[in-house]
Amino acid sequence: MDNPKIDIDLDHEELDVVCERPDTLKDARMHYCPGCGHGVAHRIIMEAVAELGIQDKTIGVAPVGCSVFAYHYMNIDMQEAAHGRATAVATGIKHILPDHYVFTYQGDGDLAAIGTAETIHTVNRGENLLIVFINNAIYGMTGGQMAPTTLFGQKTSTSPYGRQREFNGNPLKITELLAQLPGAFYVTRQAVNNPNAVRKAKKAIINGFKYQELKRGTSFVEIVSNCPTNWGLPPVKANEWLVENMLPYYPLGDIKVPSKEDLQP
């Protein structure tokens, strides 16, 4: 069947603009697979930067992983880090620019495997950074290998019979672990699988940026995301799988929030 002809004049003057690309996002087509959460996560971070009016004072650090090209989309100054080292790079930036807003954007392989030491020590020192952690329970970029966050029974290219404790150890709840550290100021787990979740995740990211002004420690925002391609599921099914399988193990919500006194300037 032919596609129905849609006759909309997009340049029509009388159309109201409901939602625009903020200036903090470059006018570039993203390379992410259809339905992937990375694109949404990028957008809400950049919307947060635009709404806070801090584009000229924000430095981002891109990881190694599918979002390695984050700087192709985010219209802010950025540095690309080696696999796992993003929080060390961000620490360096913050020590030169203590009044700027610095964030890292990292996948689970990057942050919770190769970069575990850097992550723990950065948070434990209480560096005034925002760490955005995209947990899709798999290594996306290298083609779907097991991540520390891969769930029991989850099939990946390196856990072909499903992750088993005796061979592969346990899925790592790095976020809960980090929340134990005194340097962690704000720790929360959010998702981007539906509009309501996206709104909450964006609020968390805005908090993470604003808390840097207090210089009281690290903000850590986990975003439970998906990888339709390597999960071998179409986008809608992937989000269903996320709700059924990931959220029971990685429940959404705040894990550590600043007290009223913590928030006094």
Partner 1 sequence: MGELRLMKGNEALAEAAIRAGMDAYFGYPITPQSEVLEYLTREAWLRTKASILQAESEVASINMLYGAGGAGGRVMTSSSSPGISLMQEGISYIAGAEIPCLIVNVNRGGPGLGTIQPSQGDYFQSVKGGGHGDYRLIVLAPATVQEMADFVLEGFELAEKYRNPVLILTDGALGQMMEKVELRDQVDRAARKIPGWATTGKTPDRAANVLTSLFIQPEEMEQVNLRLQEKYKVIEQNEIRYQTIQVEDADMVLVAYGLSARISRKAMEICRAHGMKVGVIRPISLWPYPSQVITDAAQHAKAFLAVELNAGQMVEDVRLAVNGRCPVEHYGRMGGIIPSPEEIVTVIEKLYSQVS
Ligand X SMILES: Cc1ncc(C[n+]2csc(CCOP(=O)(O)OP(=O)(O)O)c2C)c(N)n1
Binding site for ligand X (CB under 6 A): 64-67, 83, 107-110, 134, 136, 138-142, 147, 227
117 binds, among ligand SF4, partner 1, ligand X, none (CB under 5 to 8 A by kind): partner 1
Binding of residue 36 to ligand SF4 (CB under 6 A): yes
Of the pair 93, 147, the CB lying nearest ligand SF4 is at: 147
Tokens of 227: 């990888």
| Among positions 36, 58, 168, 204, the unique one binding partner 1 when judged by CB under 8 A | 58
In whole angstroms, what is the distance from residue 225 CA to residue 9 CA?
35
Identify residues 88-147 at the interface with partner 1 (CB under 8 A): 88-97, 100, 117-118, 121
Binding of residue 229 to ligand SF4 (CB under 6 A): yes
152 binds, among ligand X, partner 1, ligand SF4, none (CB under 5 to 8 A by kind): none
Of the pair 132, 192, the CB lying nearest partner 1 is at: 132
C-beta of 89: minimal distance to ligand SF4 in Å?
22
With contacts defined by CB under 6 A, name the span among 21-29, 30-38, 41-49, 255-263 that binds ligand SF4: 30-38
